[in-house]
Copies of this chain bind each other. A is one copy, B any other.
Amino acid sequence: MMRTRPLKVALLGCGVVGSEVARIMTTTADDLAARIGAPVELAGIAVRRAGRPRPGVPEHLLTTDAEALAGRDDIDVVIEVVGGIEPSKSLILKAFGNGASVVSANKALLAKDGAELHAAAAAAGADLYYEAAVAGAIPLLRPLRESLAGDKVNRVLGIVNGTTNFILDKMDSTGAGYSEALEEATALGYAEADPTADVEGFDAAAKAAILAGIAFHTKVTAADVYREGITEVTAADIASAKQMGCVVKLLAICERSADGGSVTARVHPAMIPLSHPLASVREAYNAVFVEAEAAGRLMFYGPGAGGSPTASAVLGDLVAVCRNKVNGTTGPGDSVYAQLPAKPMDEVVTRYHVSLDVDDRAGVLAQVASVFAEHGVSIDTVRQQGRDGDAALVVVTHRATDAALSATVDKLRALDSVRDVASIMRVEGE
């Protein structure tokens, strides 16, 4: 039996995602009602500027007063697709103040102030859901939080930024350099006019923080995430990866330490073997690889961005929080009981691909090798290629801490025979 009083929804933001949310809510109202067990009604849409043409969006619902809309006491659920820290945070807190549940797609805010927002939700007896904040339409947070709730996740390895994956895939398939590939991504609408958040890894780092927190039941913020973007990745790096049977991907990597007592989260370009399922993720697609103790190796794949895919995730959350409202309950909230410290990058253990420009003379390899040995970094393979007077030396190491590798590189730079440390890239997924 369906209750007849409709649930009222306030939509904050009506850009690419918001307008899709409004359109789908309007066109599939009957399906949503059947799945929720109550009709659901769009009660207002907050926009920055009125008067723009917004096809398919009911005009009479538009308002420029987001604060008043979020604060209306007849609102059951607030959907926040504005992005950024403020005013989104204040609007969400205002919604909780009225007992409304919140569905958000705001990765930056969740990665920064997730704990505070979850606490406000709990205090209000309301839900805070944000599947859309990580990897667009790919169901990921709910599987991690609920499906794997009886398992122990040890590692999450993901391609969670479509822009950078598009650029790196282009570089890989065409041999183009970074700037050229970025230009193409911009022309095709895969990169924004200011691509900083994507190419410098800020977007992926926010997602890594959210993933690590949920996967390990502990508090991780964006500030805990080591971050390197893709702007320094060269065509030579990509070519060198190919020679090793690898591709270069910008990875978000969340790991539980071997002793289980701490976690690390990091975002950086890395070489992964072609045989790894993540290696075949092309163009702007996202995919996340999860290793759990009992479940084994799982992968989730799909479109990581775009209006419709992100709207799908928002609406899935909307159905869930509305169902909870109807049933007078809330879903699983913040789970941070494990209280594991987030360790810095220094303690991360992985393999490294180091490219050096060195003098092409006898004894240089021995000198370089001894620097690695001094720092306890064991060498897996060395490839040397002579050029006119100098040589390119590529060293791939066995597993070592980032601290040991950094110390090694500092010492290498100081060697007379080493003209340049051309690149350092981590090797993952083996």
Interface residues of A (CB under 8 A from B): 20, 24, 28, 31-32, 34-35, 131, 137-139, 142-143, 146-152, 217, 277, 280, 292-303, 306, 308-309, 311-320, 323-324, 327-330, 332, 335, 337-338
Across the interface, name the chain B residue whose C-beta is closest to A301.
Answer: B299
Quick check: B217 and A139 within 8 Å, CB to CB? no
Given A131-B147, A150-B24, A315-B150, does the pair A300, B303 have CB atoms closer than 8 Å?
A: no
Q: For the complex formed by this chain, how many copies does it contain in all?
A: 2
**Which residues of chain B are within 8 angstroms of A332 by Cβ–Cβ distance?**
35, 323
Across the interface, name the chain B residue whose C-beta is closest to A300.
Answer: B300
* Distance of A138 from chain B, by nearest CB (Å): 6
**Which residues of chain B are within 8 angstroms of A316 by Cβ–Cβ distance?**
146-151
Q: Which of B148, B297, B312, B338 interacts with A151 by CB under 8 Å?
A: B312
Quick check: B312 and A303 within 8 Å, CB to CB? no
**Which residues of chain B are within 8 angstroms of A24 by Cβ–Cβ distance?**
150, 294
**Which residues of chain B are within 8 angstroms of A137 by Cβ–Cβ distance?**
151, 292, 294-296, 298
A292-B295 Cα distance, complex, nearest whole Å: 26
Given A294-B312, A311-B294, does the pair A32, B299 have CB atoms closer than 8 Å?
A: no
A149-B297 Cα distance, complex, nearest whole Å: 26
* Distance of A96 from chain B, by nearest CB (Å): 19
A80-B319 Cα distance, complex, nearest whole Å: 29
**Which residues of chain B are within 8 angstroms of A146 by Cβ–Cβ distance?**
139, 142, 316, 319-320
* Distance of A18 from chain B, by nearest CB (Å): 14
A24-B143 Cα distance, complex, nearest whole Å: 19
**Which residues of chain B are within 8 angstroms of A312 by Cβ–Cβ distance?**
148, 150-151, 292-295
Q: Which of B32, B301, B319, B330 interacts with A298 by CB under 8 Å?
A: B301
**Which residues of chain B are within 8 angstroms of A335 by Cβ–Cβ distance?**
34-35
Quick check: B292 and A297 within 8 Å, CB to CB? no
Across the interface, name the chain B residue whose C-beta is closest to A36.
Answer: B149
A314-B217 Cα distance, complex, nearest whole Å: 20
Taking A147-B313, A296-B309, A298-B302 as given, write out 19 further A-B residue pairs in contact, using a Cβ cutoff of 8 Å, ordered by the A residue number.
Answer: A20-B294, A34-B217, A137-B151, A137-B298, A142-B143, A143-B143, A146-B319, A149-B316, A149-B319, A150-B311, A151-B315, A277-B301, A295-B303, A296-B306, A298-B301, A300-B301, A323-B332, A324-B329, A328-B329
Given A137-B298, A280-B280, does the pair A35, B149 have CB atoms closer than 8 Å?
A: yes
A150-B277 Cα distance, complex, nearest whole Å: 28
Quick check: B298 and A138 within 8 Å, CB to CB? yes
- A-B complex: 8 closest residue pairs judged by Cβ atoms: A150-B315, A139-B147, A137-B295, A139-B143, A294-B312, A149-B319, A295-B312, A298-B302
Quick check: A302 and B297 within 8 Å, CB to CB? yes
A414-B330 Cα distance, complex, nearest whole Å: 65
A299-B302 Cα distance, complex, nearest whole Å: 6
A319-B152 Cα distance, complex, nearest whole Å: 13
A300-B72 Cα distance, complex, nearest whole Å: 40
A315-B297 Cα distance, complex, nearest whole Å: 17
**Which residues of chain B are within 8 angstroms of A309 by Cβ–Cβ distance?**
294-296
**Which residues of chain B are within 8 angstroms of A301 by Cβ–Cβ distance?**
277, 298-301
Jot down 8 A-B pairs with beta carbons below 8 A, ordered by A: A20-B294, A32-B150, A34-B338, A35-B149, A137-B298, A139-B148, A139-B298, A297-B303
**Which residues of chain B are within 8 angstroms of A298 by Cβ–Cβ distance?**
137-139, 300-302
Quick check: B308 and A302 within 8 Å, CB to CB? no
A147-B302 Cα distance, complex, nearest whole Å: 13
Quick check: A313 and B329 within 8 Å, CB to CB? no
**Which residues of chain B are within 8 angstroms of A138 by Cβ–Cβ distance?**
298
* Distance of A117 from chain B, by nearest CB (Å): 20
A332-B280 Cα distance, complex, nearest whole Å: 35
Quick check: A320 and B149 within 8 Å, CB to CB? yes
**Which residues of chain B are within 8 angstroms of A323 by Cβ–Cβ distance?**
332
* Distance of A29 from chain B, by nearest CB (Å): 11
* Distance of A238 from chain B, by nearest CB (Å): 22
